[in-house]
């Protein structure tokens, strides 16, 4: 349930846009009192069941291949704490802050479904960290995406018990200090609460939602960049004819055509039937089909994410009838395969962009543009090296396109004999996204300079919007100079800003 300035967590379905509001815009989240009472009631039922002497995985047994090893009720709390400490073995760069914020919310959401046997106060702790911008430091590497994201989720949970590291106000502090500043005591884990905190797909899902947020923005911006390149190359626009979509009515194609036509509105540089060319190269003519296919893939991935967002990925499940069901909802296959698929669907945006940059700099495709957009070719190199950069990034993305999810390496003495490798798929994907922002920046800078040569006053609505917002931030004296700082500035702006 969403209020004006807060999101109320009540065990009901969440929307992806709500997760984005929390992750990127710091919307507050508060659990409802009815949810906390319901969780406490479920916890008491489970406690009574365990006290009857029934053997329960993860409560009175070890984990993984150690499930046959019994653990006494006296050692139950120690078992849960040991689980977090033993599994927090992540390495590598920390996950981005927005991803960690998503993880905190998503972990609380799956626990709020009341199939995990935890107390309401556990969700209160998670939300206290989230609402006060205390973000656990979660190393990015080490998860198999098999029994969920055990390693990253263990790091997410450590500060609750006064361990691990936390980022707050761009400073790294230890978990004990974070608890003191939040006026919290170290959380005392009971029954299966340690297992409930780490057994799920919330790291992979957070990477997917992060990717969706950026991908829709990138798609709109690539429509803008391609339209600016079309104008700079005085392109034909016959491929934007309404019949193109009518005879092949994929929704994504229709949306791409509409978006590009909107950016070209008012342009005097493009022409449905230019006298100098009958047909354009594919990197211009086929933009609606390629961008439209990416659009379709994003819609499919979003549907997967919506289901996962409101699913329970814990094991075992504690049903309303107090049955304990051992199952495999923690397996990352649904996310791993879609993360790999999105890599394949997104990379062509950059591939086509590089080809358009090549044409803008070639001096031959549109003869009114000088080689490398230099006024003194030979003496000056102009933007020659931007295409080099673009080619390098395209190659890097192609390497990253290799699917992680086709591999599996058995673990836990063969008990976990098929793993998803979904976390690796997600980590590759966020690097692809980063590269796509750089590729976008390269095309925007190149097309912007070309349009200055063609006549900005003749450009359409999209190009003029870009120039009004960013043109003064780009070096356009046509003298050779490094554009590295301008590129980083523009990338940062595009990353952080919201676009209509």
Same domain, 289 and 195: no
As a whole number, mean pLDDT of residues 439-448 equals 97
Catalytic residue among 57, 216, 358, 489: 57
**Arithmetic mean of pLDDT over the chain:** 91
As a whole number, mean pLDDT of residues 434-448 equals 97
Token pair recorded at residue 317: 């499940």
Same domain, 221 and 170: no
Domain boundary among 200, 225, 255: 200
Distances (CA, A) of 440 to 107, 352, 386, 445, 488: 34, 11, 11, 9, 12
Grade residue 315 by pLDDT with cuts at 50, 70 and 90.
confident
Which has the higher per-residue pLDDT, 476 or 83?
83
Least confident of 45-59, 100-114, 183-197, 427-441: 45-59
Same domain, 129 and 246: no
Same domain, 196 and 212: no
Residue 421 within a domain: yes
Residue 106 in this model has a pLDDT that exceeds 60: yes
Same domain, 337 and 479: yes
Grade residue 70 by pLDDT with cuts at 50, 70 and 90.
low
Domain boundary among 178, 200, 222: 200
Residue 15 within a domain: yes
CB 198 within 8 A of CB 83: yes
Residue 419 within a domain: yes
- Specify the number of domains making up the chain: 2
Residue 1 within a domain: no
Distances (CA, A) of 195 to 87, 149, 413: 10, 12, 19
Same domain, 138 and 229: no
As a whole number, mean pLDDT of residues 245-260 equals 96
Residue 500 in this model has a pLDDT that exceeds 80: no
How many CB atoms lie under 10 A from the CB of residue 152?
32
As a whole number, mean pLDDT of residues 248-265 equals 96
Residue 3 in this model has a pLDDT that exceeds 60: no
Residue 479 in this model has a pLDDT that exceeds 90: no
Q: What is the pTM of this model?
A: 0.93
Q: CA 402 to CA 431: how far, in whole Å?
A: 13
**pLDDT reported for residue 308:** 96
Same domain, 349 and 461: yes
Bridge partner list, 325: 317
Residue 74 in this model has a pLDDT that exceeds 70: no
Residue 482 within a domain: yes
CB 145 within 8 A of CB 201: yes
Residue 440 in this model has a pLDDT that exceeds 90: yes
Same domain, 49 and 139: yes
Same domain, 189 and 269: no
The conformational region for residue 371 under phi > 0 = left, psi -120 to 50 = alpha, else beta, is: beta
Q: CA 66 to CA 345: how far, in whole Å?
A: 41
Same domain, 92 and 233: no
Instruction: State the angle between helix axes of 333-362 and 422-454 in degrees (0 to 180), rounded to the nearest 10.
Output: 20
3-class SS shares of the chain: helix, strand, coil, % to 5 = 60, 10, 35
Grade residue 19 by pLDDT with cuts at 50, 70 and 90.
very high
Residue 344 in this model has a pLDDT that exceeds 60: yes
As a whole number, mean pLDDT of residues 483-493 equals 92
Residue 395 within a domain: yes
Same domain, 125 and 212: no
**pLDDT reported for residue 56:** 67
**pLDDT reported for residue 466:** 94
Q: CA 427 to CA 250: how far, in whole Å?
A: 30
Of 250, 220, 426, 222, which is closest to residue 341 (Cα–Cα)? 426
Residue 57: CATH number of its domain: 1.10.275.10
As a whole number, mean pLDDT of residues 224-231 equals 97
Residue 172 domain boundaries: 6-200
Of 335, 296, 94, which is closest to residue 207 (Cα–Cα)? 335
Which has the higher per-residue pLDDT, 296 or 67?
296
Same domain, 379 and 252: yes
Grade residue 8 by pLDDT with cuts at 50, 70 and 90.
very high
Residue 271 in this model has a pLDDT that exceeds 70: yes
Beta strands 165-168 and 135-136, pairing class? antiparallel
Tell me the per-residue pLDDT of 130-182, one tens digit each, with 9 for 90 and over.
Answer: 999 999 999 999 999 887 899 999 999 999 999 999 999 999 999 999 999 99
- Known catalytic membership, residue 57: yes
Rounded to the nearest 10°, the torsion over CA 64, 206, 398, 236 is 150
**pLDDT reported for residue 454:** 93
Residue 1 in this model has a pLDDT that exceeds 60: no
Residue 447: CATH number of its domain: 1.20.200.10
Grade residue 376 by pLDDT with cuts at 50, 70 and 90.
confident
Grouping H, G, I as helix, E, B as strand and the rest as coil, residue 240 is: helix
Residue 2 in this model has a pLDDT that exceeds 60: no
Token pair recorded at residue 360: 């803008």
**pLDDT reported for residue 416:** 80
Domain boundary among 200, 226, 254: 200
As a whole number, mean pLDDT of residues 450-476 equals 90
Residue 273 within a domain: yes
């Amino acid at each position: 349930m969403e209020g004006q300035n807060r999101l109320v967590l009540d065990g009901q379905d969440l929307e992806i846009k709500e997760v984005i509001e929390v992750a990127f815009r710091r919307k507050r989240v508060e659990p409802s009192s009815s949810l906390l009472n319901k969780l406490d009631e479920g916890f008491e039922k489970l406690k009574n069941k365990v006290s009857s002497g029934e053997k329960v995985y993860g409560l009175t047994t070890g984990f993984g291949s150690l499930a046959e090893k019994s653990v006494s009720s006296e050692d139950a709390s120690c078992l849960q704490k040991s689980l977090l400490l033993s599994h927090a073995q992540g390495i590598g760069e920390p996950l981005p802050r927005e991803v960690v914020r998503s993880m905190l919310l998503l972990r609380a959401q799956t626990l709020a479904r009341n199939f995990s046997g935890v107390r309401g106060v556990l969700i209160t702790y998670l939300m206290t960290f989230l609402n006060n911008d205390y973000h656990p430091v979660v190393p990015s590497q080490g998860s198999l995406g098999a029994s969920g994201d055990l390693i990253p989720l263990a790091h997410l949970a450590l500060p609750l018990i006064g361990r691990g590291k936390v980022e707050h106000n761009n400073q790294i502090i230890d978990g004990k200090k974070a608890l003191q500043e939040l006026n919290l005591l170290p959380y005392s884990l009971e029954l299966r609460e340690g297992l409930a905190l780490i057994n799920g797909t919330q790291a992979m899902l957070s990477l997917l939602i992060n990717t969706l947020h950026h991908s829709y923005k990138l798609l709109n911006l690539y429509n803008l960049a391609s339209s600016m390149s079309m104008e700079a190359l005085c392109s034909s626009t016959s491929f934007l004819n309404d019949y193109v979509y009518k005879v092949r009515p994929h929704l994504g194609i229709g949306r791409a055509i509409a978006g590009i036509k909107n950016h070209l509105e008012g342009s005097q540089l493009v022409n449905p039937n230019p006298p100098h060319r009958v047909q354009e190269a594919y990197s211009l003519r086929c933009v609606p089909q390629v961008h439209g296919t990416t659009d379709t893939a994003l819609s499919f991935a979003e549907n997967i994410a919506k289901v996962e967002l409101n699913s329970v990925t814990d094991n075992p499940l504690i049903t309303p009838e107090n049955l304990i069901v051992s199952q495999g909802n923690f397996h990352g296959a649904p996310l791993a395969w879609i993360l790999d698929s999105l890599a394949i669907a997104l990379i062509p945006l950059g591939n086509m962009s590089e080809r358009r940059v090549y044409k803008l700099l070639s001096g031959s495709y549109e003869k009114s543009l000088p080689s490398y957009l230099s006024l003194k070719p030979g003496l000056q190199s102009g933007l020659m090296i931007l295409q080099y950069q673009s080619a390098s990034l395209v190659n890097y993305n192609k390497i990253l396109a290799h699917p992680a999810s086709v591999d599996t390496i058995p673990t836990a003495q063969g008990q976990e004999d098929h793993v998803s490798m979904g976390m690796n798929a997600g980590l590759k994907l966020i690097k692809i996204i980063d590269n796509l922002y750089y590729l976008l920046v390269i095309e925007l800078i190149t097309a912007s300079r070309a349009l200055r040569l063609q006549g900005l006053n003749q450009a359409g609505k999209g190009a003029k919007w870009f120039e009004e917002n960013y043109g003064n931030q780009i070096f356009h004296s046509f003298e050779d100079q490094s554009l590295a700082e301008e590129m980083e500035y523009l990338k940062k702006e595009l990353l952080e800003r919201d676009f209509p």
